[in-house]
Homo-oligomer: A and B are copies of this chain.
Amino acid sequence: MDPIIQNISKHITLTPEEEQLFLSKTEIRHYKAKTMLHHAGQVCKESYFVNSGLIRSFNINDNIVEHVLSFACDGWWISDMYSLLSQKPGNLFIEVLEDSEVMVLSKENQDQLYLEIPKLERFFRILIENSLVANQERLMDNLSLTAEERFDKFCKRYPTLLQQVPQKQIASYIGVTPEFFSKMKARMLKK
């Protein structure tokens, strides 16, 4: 079964016809590492479901400093939610980190699908609820935990990413500089 259909059927049940309709509104694309799927300043028109590979979203400070908002590996969705929903220019970049196969769902098609398969409202609601909960936890963690504790949590929650992602991007995700991360890692290994 198509991974995206499998993903959907975790939360709602589609008929075979609905599955076909859904798939007909998506598009498979293959991207090479380092491809930019979306640029800050542009209006985001689509969201991506990762069949295989690895993608990240991040913003860039006045200062040239990158901050990773999220990673998406197999079975995850990624987009610039703010820009996609408001159809205004966003602040995020979306970049392919490893050669990837993605399912592309345009905003237009997504809006149509909501009308044609109202159950999808529920699916995306649940998807976003889970996202929100994870985000809230990350926010609280950033307010209350040390960098070391945040890194521990990251390791437990995303053990695969640890191998895949360049270390400086993990540093950025947990909210420290690469230099400090390196020092911290060395310190942690001694224990």
Q: Interface residues, chain A, CB within 8 Å of chain B?
A: 59, 61, 65, 67, 69, 81-82, 85-86, 91, 114, 118, 121-122, 124-125, 128-133, 135-140, 142-144, 172, 175
Contacts and interface: CB of A to CB of B under 8 A. Distances in A.
Q: Report copies per complex.
A: 2
A133 B69 contact: no
Given A114-B122, A121-B121, A81 B136 contact: yes
Contacts of A139: 69, 135, 138-139, 142
Nearest to A59: B140
Contacts of A118: 118, 121
Nearest to A128: B128
A138 B82 CA distance: 12
Given A114-B122, A139-B139, A143-B175, 19 more contacts: A59-B140, A61-B144, A69-B140, A81-B132, A81-B133, A82-B136, A85-B130, A85-B133, A91-B140, A118-B121, A121-B125, A125-B125, A128-B129, A131-B132, A132-B132, A132-B135, A135-B136, A142-B142, A143-B172
A67 B144 contact: yes
Contacts of A143: 67, 142, 172, 175
